[in-house]
C-alpha cells in the first residue's frame, strides 16, 4: 500500500541525476526531465552552469531551494535541488524535487504582499506630498496676503492726503476710483488671509463675552445710511429676549452679518432688506442666534417666481462669482467660519423676488454679567419717500468741490440745487429765496462759512433765519470744532473728505427726513 502511494505520488515528483566531475550526466531516472546520458547538465538550465564549479570540492551537500526552471511552454516550475559533491569513490549527484504547487502558492502570497506594500508606499508618499504642498500654499498665501495689506494701507492713506491737495474735478473722480479699487483689493486680500488661515487650521474661533446690543448698534450705524443711499428700506427686527451678554466670537459674527448685508445691498435694487434675529431655545445656557437676512433683490436665476427654494451654497457662490461682479470668496468663508462655530446656513431664493439667507450661530449666555440690561433693538428704518423735493444751496469757493457735491446730490435725486461761491453770495441768495438746507464750506474768500452762518442767523426774515445749515470742512475735526460750528448756529457738520453715506446721513438727520422708526 505504502509502496503504491510512493510509486504513484512521490516518485514522479523527484529525480536523481548522477554526474561525473565534469558535470556530464552518467545516469538519470528521468522522472521530471528527460536527460541524455553524456550530455552536460548545464544544458538543462543555466542554473546548472555553476554546478561544475561547485563539485570541485568533495563531500559537500548544498541545498538550493526554490529554483525556477521554465518548462517547454515557458511556464515557471519551481524545484528544490540538492547537490551532493561526492568523493573520490563516489560520483556527485543531484536530487531534484518538484515543488511547483507549493511555491506557486507562496508566489501568490508574495505577489499580494509586495504589491500591497508598494501601493501603500506610494499612497503614503503621495499623501505626504499633498500635505506638504498644501501647507506650503497656505503659508505662502497667508504671508503674501499679510504683506500686501501694508502697501494697500499706504495707498489708501496717500489717496486721502492727495484728495486734500486741491485737485480738479477730473482728478477727484479718478481719486475716488483709485480708492474704490484699492478698497476692493483690500477686501479680496482680507478674504484670502481668512481662507488661508481656515485651510491651515489657524483660524480660531474666539469664545469671549460680548455686548450683543453694541453689535446691533454698530450694524445700525453702518447700514442705516448705506441702505438709504440706494433708497432701500432697512429693517432690523431683533428679538428683545436675546440676553445682552453672550459668549461667542463677536468679530466673526459681525463679519458674517456684514457679508450677508453687503450681498443683499449689492443684489437688491428696490424694496427692502431685513435683518431679523431671534433667540432659539435655551438649553444649559446655550442657544442659537437664529439670523435671517431677507432681501427683495434679483434672487437666484432658475428659481422662477413662485418656486422659492433652497439653493446649494456652492452654486449660489458660483453664480455670484461668475454672473455678477465679485469674487465669491465671501460666502465660502462664511460657510467655513460657520462650520468652525458649529453653526449652519441655508439660502432660499426666487428669481426676481429676492433671497433669504438663514443662519444659526450657537452662543452661550454669560450669566455672571447678564444684569437686567436687555437688548432691545427693534427698529425699522424706512428711507424717506422724498415726498417732496428739497431745495439746497451748495456753498463752496472751489468749483470742483461744487461740481462733485452737486453730482452726488443729483445722483441721489430729490434735490434742487443752487450754488454759491462764497459767504456773501450765500447771503444774497437766501434773501432772494428760501432754501430747505445750506451745505456750507467753511473756508471761503470774502466771507467764510462761519461768518455767513452768523449773518443768516441774525437775518430779519424768520424763514431765512431758520434755514438749517450743515458745515463742510476739510479741517481735522478737533474737539471744539464741532461746537464752534454749533455756536455759530449750524445744525450739522460733515468733515471732508466725506463719503456719500456720511453726507446723506447728516442731511437726513438735519432735514428730519431721516429714517424714521416705523
| Helices then strands, each counted (H, E), the chain | 14, 20
Cα angle vertex 295, ends 335, 213, to 5°? Answer: 70
Residue whose CB is less far from other proteins, 4 or 22: 22
* Count of residues touching other proteins (by CB under 8 A): 26
* Radius of gyration over every alpha carbon of the chain, rounded to an integer in angstroms: 44
Q: Which stretch binds other proteins (CB under 8 A): 9-17, 112-120, 304-312, 504-512?
A: 112-120
Residue 67's alpha-carbon distances to 28, 76, 100, 104, 314, in angstroms, are: 19, 10, 10, 12, 61
Closest approach of other proteins to the CB of residue 18, in Å:
21
The set of cell numbers assigned to 164 is: 486734500
The set of cell numbers assigned to 321 is: 462669482
Residue whose CB is less far from other proteins, 78 or 485: 78
Written in H, E and C, the secondary structure of 416-460 is EEEEECCHHHHHHHHHHCCCCEEEEECCCCCCCHHHHHHHHHCCC
Does 132 engage in binding with other proteins (CB under 8 A)?
no
Distance of CA 30 to the CA centre of its chain: 78
Residue whose CB is less far from other proteins, 121 or 184: 121
The set of cell numbers assigned to 146 is: 499679510
Does 95 engage in binding with other proteins (CB under 8 A)?
no
Does 67 engage in binding with other proteins (CB under 8 A)?
yes
Closest approach of other proteins to the CB of residue 74, in Å:
11
Residue whose CB is less far from other proteins, 30 or 111: 111
Q: Which stretch binds other proteins (CB under 8 A): 61-69, 176-184, 290-298, 470-478?
A: 61-69
Residue whose CB is less far from other proteins, 77 or 370: 77
Does 130 engage in binding with other proteins (CB under 8 A)?
no
Site string for other proteins, 2-41 (x = CB under 8 A): ----------------------------------------
* Residues 6+ positions from 385 with CB-CB distance below 8 Å: none
Does 106 engage in binding with other proteins (CB under 8 A)?
yes
CA torsion 207-210-212-215 (nearest 10°) is: -100
Sign of CA dihedral 40, 44, 45, 51: negative
Candidate residues 118, 132, 324, 516; the one interacting with other proteins per rule CB under 8 A: 118
Q: Which stretch binds other proteins (CB under 8 A): 66-74, 236-244, 325-333, 380-388?
A: 66-74
Does 131 engage in binding with other proteins (CB under 8 A)?
no
Does 119 engage in binding with other proteins (CB under 8 A)?
no
Q: Is 289 exposed, middle or buried (0-12, 13-18, 19+ CB in 10 A)?
A: buried
Closest approach of other proteins to the CB of residue 107, in Å:
5
Residue whose CB is less far from other proteins, 64 or 319: 64
Distance CA 203, CA 373 (A): 32
Candidate residues 31, 35, 47, 178; the one interacting with other proteins per rule CB under 8 A: 47
Does 93 engage in binding with other proteins (CB under 8 A)?
no
Closest approach of other proteins to the CB of residue 110, in Å:
5
> Around Cβ 70, how many Cβ atoms within 10 Å?
10
Cα–Cα nearest to 66, from 99, 94, 95, 93: 99
Residue whose CB is less far from other proteins, 49 or 339: 49
Does 241 engage in binding with other proteins (CB under 8 A)?
no
Does 282 engage in binding with other proteins (CB under 8 A)?
no
Closest approach of other proteins to the CB of residue 111, in Å:
4
Please state whether beta strands 245-248 and 344-350 pair in parallel, antiparallel, or not at all (unpaired): unpaired
CA torsion 509-511-517-518 (nearest 10°) is: -160
Distance CA 174, CA 377 (A): 40
Enumerate residues 69-88 that contact other proteins by CB under 8 A: 76, 78
Distance CA 196, CA 192 (A): 6
Candidate residues 13, 24, 64, 429; the one interacting with other proteins per rule CB under 8 A: 64
Residue whose CB is less far from other proteins, 65 or 143: 65
Q: Which stretch binds other proteins (CB under 8 A): 59-67, 126-134, 322-330, 347-355?
A: 59-67
**Number of residues assigned to the chain:** 518
DSSP state of 303: S
Candidate residues 29, 49, 314, 434; the one interacting with other proteins per rule CB under 8 A: 49
Q: E-assigned strands of 150-249?
A: 208-211, 233-238, 245-248
Residues at the site binding other proteins, with contacts judged by CB under 8 A: 45-47, 49-50, 53-54, 62-68, 76, 78, 103, 106-107, 110-111, 114-115, 118, 121-122
Amino acid at each position: 500500500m505504502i509502496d503504491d502511494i510512493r510509486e504513484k505520488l512521490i516518485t514522479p515528483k523527484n529525480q536523481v541525476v548522477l554526474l561525473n566531475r565534469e558535470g556530464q550526466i552518467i545516469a538519470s531516472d528521468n522522472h521530471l526531465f528527460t536527460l541524455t546520458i553524456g550530455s552536460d547538465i548545464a544544458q538543462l538550465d543555466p542554473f546548472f552552469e555553476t554546478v561544475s564549479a561547485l563539485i570541485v570540492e568533495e563531500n559537500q551537500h548544498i541545498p538550493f531551494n526554490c529554483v525556477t526552471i521554465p518548462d517547454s511552454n515557458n511556464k515557471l516550475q519551481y524545484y528544490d535541488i540538492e547537490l551532493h559533491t561526492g568523493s573520490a569513490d563516489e560520483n556527485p549527484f543531484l536530487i531534484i524535487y518538484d515543488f511547483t504547487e507549493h511555491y506557486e502558492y507562496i508566489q501568490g502570497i508574495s505577489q499580494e504582499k509586495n504589491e500591497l506594500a508598494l501601493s501603500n508606499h506610494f499612497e503614503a508618499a503621495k499623501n505626504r506630498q499633498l500635505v506638504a504642498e498644501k501647507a506650503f500654499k497656505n503659508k505662502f498665501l497667508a504671508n503674501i496676503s499679510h504683506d500686501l495689506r501694508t502697501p494697500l494701507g499706504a495707498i489708501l492713506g496717500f489717496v486721502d492726503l492727495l484728495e486734500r491737495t486741491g485737485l480738479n474735478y477730473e482728478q477727484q473722480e479718478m481719486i475716488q476710483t483709485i480708492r474704490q479699487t484699492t478698497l476692493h483689493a483690500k477686501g479680496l486680500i482680507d478674504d484670502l488671509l481668512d481662507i488661508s488661515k481656515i485651510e491651515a487650521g489657524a483660524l480660531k474661533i474666539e469664545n469671549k463675552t460680548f455686548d450683543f446690543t453694541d453689535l446691533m448698534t454698530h450694524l445700525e450705524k453702518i447700514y442705516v445710511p448705506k441702505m438709504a443711499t440706494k433708497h432701500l428700506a432697512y429693517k432690523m427686527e431683533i428679538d428683545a429676549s436675546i440676553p445682552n451678554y453672550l459668549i461667542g466670537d463677536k468679530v466673526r459674527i459681525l463679519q458674517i452679518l456684514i457679508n450677508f448685508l453687503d450681498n443683499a445691498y449689492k443684489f437688491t435694487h428696490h424694496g427692502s432688506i431685513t435683518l431679523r434675529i431671534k433667540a432659539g431655545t435655551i438649553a444649559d445656557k446655550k442657544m442659537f442666534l437664529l439670523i435671517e437676512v431677507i432681501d427683495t433683490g434679483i434672487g437666484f436665476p432658475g428659481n422662477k417666481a413662485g418656486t422659492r427654494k433652497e439653493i446649494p451654497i456652492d452654486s449660489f457662490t458660483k453664480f455670484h462669482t461668475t454672473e455678477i461682479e465679485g469674487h465669491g470668496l465671501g460666502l465660502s468663508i462664511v460657510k467655513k467660519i460657520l462650520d468652525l462655530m458649529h453653526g449652519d446656513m441655508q439660502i432660499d431664493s426666487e428669481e426676481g423676488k429676492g433671497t433669504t439667507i438663514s443662519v444659526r450661530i450657537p452662543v452661550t449666555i454669560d450669566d455672571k454679567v447678564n444684569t437686567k440690561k436687555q437688548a432691545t433693538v427693534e427698529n425699522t428704518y424706512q428711507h424717506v419717500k422724498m415726498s417732496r423735493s428739497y431745495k439746497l444751496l451748495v456753498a463752496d469757493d472751489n468749483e470742483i468741490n461744487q461740481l462733485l457735491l452737486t453730482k452726488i446730490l443729483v445722483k441721489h435725486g430729490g434735490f434742487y440745487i443752487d450754488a454759491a461761491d462764497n459767504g456773501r453770495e450765500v447771503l444774497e441768495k437766501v434773501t432772494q429765496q428760501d432754501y430747505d438746507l445750506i451745505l456750507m464750506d467753511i473756508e471761503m474768500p470774502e466771507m467764510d462759512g462761519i461768518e455767513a452762518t452768523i449773518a443768516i442767523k441774525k437775518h430779519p426774515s424768520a424763514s431765512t433765519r431758520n434755514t438749517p445749515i450743515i458745515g463742510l470742512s476739510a479741517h481735522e475735526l478737533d474737539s471744539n470744532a464741532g461746537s464752534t460750528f454749533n455756536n455759530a448756529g449750524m445744525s450739522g457738520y460733515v468733515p471732508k473728505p466725506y463719503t456719500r453715506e456720511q453726507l446723506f446721513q447728516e442731511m437726513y438727520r438735519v432735514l428730519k427726513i431721516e429714517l424714521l422708526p416705523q
